[in-house]
Structure 1
């Protein structure tokens, strides 16, 4: 058996055995704004299997249309999870929904997003009915309410003590717990007397666990990562790794106490997230936090306030130097989605039909995407993966990427080829990089 690939820092890649399972809790249905019409239960089941995800959130159970569809399409599996009626042995689903609370607290306007977990359809119906009395649950898959978010925690737990509330993408500038535009400096300031019910935080695409662990106040929270997918292809771009039994109670117990089977996360390179750096999209300005501070927070092109990004906000609140990784933290592995690797190898800037055909060929021959990116030895992949794509996978596993950070709603640009020296073979000769 070949030796494991070494990632940055010398840790074997990946740090997990194959007998774990992957879960992505935060997604949306086609009833959410700016979401693909293909976000249906059959498509979610199919794409989860292509990606290698065992467990996926339903998203949007607060929406009457989507909840009715879930009731038609899902069947319980006896563990508190569900399966698609058309494939009872396939992907498992857990009932989840994102909610937006916009309210005034501490003299400021606050905009906080959270993800709710429900044990079963009866609980989901109860939560939806309670929310219907407080606002319009049919306007969007992610409904907006005008009451403080702590009341949402209380409402979910009154419906069922086994419900769970996860603050979403906690550093995003506009809609999050710690966001620069509308967030708080401490979790307790936001959730007040309900703070004890918050046991985990979602890091979001623009931060990773190491960044979050720079705040000692967050040590007691499990850090989860999810895709926030608005189309099936985006499933699993961030995910969670578990070794516990596959069931609602077991998964929630592992989130509350990681020693019971939470093994870590799969991450974007955080620089690729669309709010990592500060910036002003309208002027094409992207800045690191130090440059923003020198400019007094103003755009050098137009003089308007810059959107302060995730890295800047982490530095404002951090009480530890980099990297913030206490012993209790679980491994976090940074990946580049396979379609992005294929697109760059083919020399195209976006996912085209040619990229999708090659992606489909690879997963048909080499297994689900996560198997290709994480576990299959490069020597095995070489039999079916073109050499240039294989080079990209190897560089990703080693952390050899160049990234122009994302800012103000613009995703970062990641490269596995453009700014790296030519590869050499085992004899020190320049390696050939043909596609096929």
Structure 2
């Protein structure tokens, strides 16, 4: 069984013609740029591009197929220069059963299913060209359509305060909106990890994913996982998500939850820690706050005597979070060692200090070992390394 680095939540910012797909995504997030950066800079083996329902993106993919650069794999998925692409779509559900909008990821095995899904979406979206659009069907109806086309259905960044399943989407249970039997996995999001999420009993039967939700090239693989599969294909991924035939998630790699933008409850205005019992921000006096992921999970959790057997969740600090490690120094490291995966997890201290100052090599190793001191993020502001 082989192990593959996988990030299944990467946005397309613009099409080849310059048309916006993910409005908040960087213009450099084109289909071709994503592939080159994910494969050559980050060292990933499989990625999920989740705005592939957009008609111009489909046309661009078909152009690559005509030239032979992009090929459909017999086990599902698409291959471009050795990198496997799982095409998908992020959509927003806000039906009569939701308290607030919920984002979900839908993935498909091949271009035929993807195009059928896109054609179906045209009748249920206001703008088929854009990412993360509200779909005017129920959550369960969307689930059934995805399954009809042989796809995977995964609630996205489920604890984020806005536009997520547990953020504001449901009061207590995913069954308020979804058929639990038609969910293939749960994406945790940046401000939580396996240990936190396992406090919620109804999630125990699902595989947990840690994905980047990248809105720029640099954010690709800030969270990812290694997956044991025979080969990097859609069908092997599907087996891994349900732990079939020794396919499985081997390890999740993600930000320490303290670094996430919504980990602690914080003031809406100044992002300072906010104690709801006080009733106002002790820093600026503002009265509104954004409930943190840690507090929301605590509300939903129960005492668990026997926790699930899960793969390890390895807290990592991406190179861009390490103080003093600027773009030029990161590029120098990449030129010498190839990929960020290698720098973060494999290159020795002795080799690192041959390329960067000893203090920077020490910080990279300390990040690897989890010994850096962190300040928690909240209300949309990332945590930071102190």
Fold similarity call, TM over 0.5: yes
Q: Does 1:170 align with 2:158?
A: yes
Alignment RMSD (CA, Å): 2.1
Q: Runs of 4+ in structure 1 displaced over 4 angstroms? A: 298-303
The residue number in structure 2 matching 1:420 is none
TM normalised by structure 1 equals 0.80
> Which has the greater radius of gyration?
1
Select which of 241, 246, 257 maps to 1:270.
257
| Secondary structure of residue in 2 paired with 1:100 | strand
Distance 2:286 2:170 in 1: 24
| Secondary structure of residue in 2 paired with 1:241 | strand
1:37-436 paired onto structure 2 within 5 Å: 37-48=27-38, 49-73=40-64, 74-84=70-80, 88=81, 90-105=82-97, 109-158=99-148, 160=149, 162-179=150-167, 181-191=168-178, 194-245=179-230, 246-257=232-243, 259-287=246-274, 291-292=275-276, 294-295=277-278, 299=281, 301-302=284-285, 304-320=287-303, 326-341=307-322, 344-346=323-325, 355-415=326-386
Q: Does 1:29 align with 2:21?
A: no
Unmatched tracts of structure 2, length 5 or more:
14-20, 65-69
Deviation at 1:257, TM superposition (A): 1.4
Query: How many residues align structurally?
Result: 370
Distance 1:409 1:345 in 2: 23
Contact 1:62 1:137 in 2 (8 A): no
Distance 1:400 1:144 in 2: 42
CA pair 188-327 structure 1, distance change in 2 beyond 3 A: closer
Contact 2:37 2:217 in 1 (8 A): yes
Contact 1:101 1:112 in 2 (8 A): yes
Partner deviation per Cα, 1:291-339 (whole Å, 9 max, x = no partner): 33x235x545455332111000011011137xx9835210111111113
The residue number in structure 1 matching 2:16 is none
The residue number in structure 2 matching 1:5 is none
Further displaced range: 309-318 or 58-67? 58-67
Unmatched tracts of structure 1, length 5 or more:
1-16, 347-354, 416-436
Deviation at 1:55, TM superposition (A): 0.7
Partner deviation per Cα, 1:70-102 (whole Å, 9 max, x = no partner): 222332243312133xxx3x3221112111112
Contact 1:283 1:302 in 2 (8 A): no
